[in-house]
């Protein structure tokens, strides 16, 4: 299974300045997370059955290069952290232009919500294991 998805940007993703609007970056990162969860067996139907849902506490986007309409982008997802019982996690989504240049990063910190109790909860062990199997982010080496 891959931890990256390629997209072609749409008219609806653009702002009046002619480049991708700020919230579209977050939308593509969220879509990539949903694709990963579904690939692990946790699609929307399974979450409904479990009465469980992912929630975000923080989302931060850093913009590097403009993205324009019709451009191909690739969204890569890497695990930054997951705590022992899987209740809290952080993912770094890196968005690349077709030529490989970094367009943006989207960092999210999340947890799992029991949809009946409306309280944080521990996810199934298999979901925690899937998170742990996600490739880890490794910071680039800094020159000496």
Q: Which domains does the chain have, with CATH numbers?
A: 4-133 (3.10.129.10)
pLDDT surpasses 70 at 125: yes
pLDDT surpasses 50 at 1: no
pTM for this model (two decimals):
0.91
pLDDT surpasses 70 at 142: no
108, 81 contact by CB (below 8 A): no
- Give residue-wise pLDDT tens across range 14-36: 999 999 999 999 999 999 999 99
Nearest residue to 74 (alpha-carbon basis) of 91, 108, 98: 98
Q: Which two tokens stand for residue 105?
A: 């990063």
Sign of the alpha-carbon torsion through 95, 101, 102, 103: negative
| Cα–Cα distance, 54 to 73 (Å, whole number) | 25
Q: Which two tokens stand for residue 71?
A: 């451009």
Q: Is residue 134 very low, low, confident or very high in pLDDT (cuts 50, 70, 90)?
A: confident
**Letter string b/e over residues 77-115, b meaning 16 or more CB atoms within 10 A of that residue's CB:** bbbeebeeebeebbbbbbbbbeeeeebbbbbbbbbbbee
Phi, psi of 140 (to 5 degrees): -60, 145
């Amino acid at each position: 299974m891959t931890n990256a998805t390629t997209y072609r940007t749409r008219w609806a993703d653009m702002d009046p300045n002619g480049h991708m609007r700020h919230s579209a970056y977050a939308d593509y990162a969220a879509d990539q997370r949903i694709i990963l969860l579904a690939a692990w067996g946790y699609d929307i139907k399974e979450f409904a059955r479990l009465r469980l849902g992912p929630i975000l506490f923080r989302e931060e986007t850093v913009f590097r290069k403009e993205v324009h309409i019709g451009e191909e982008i690739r969204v890569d997802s890497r695990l930054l952290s997951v705590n022992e019982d899987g209740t809290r996690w952080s993912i770094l989504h890196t968005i690349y232009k077709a030529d490989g240049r970094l367009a943006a990063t989207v960092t999210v910190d999340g947890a799992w919500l029991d949809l009946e109790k409306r309280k944080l909860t521990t996810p199934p062990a298999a979901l925690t294991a899937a998170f742990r199997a996600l490739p880890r982010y490794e910071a680039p080496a800094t020159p000496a």
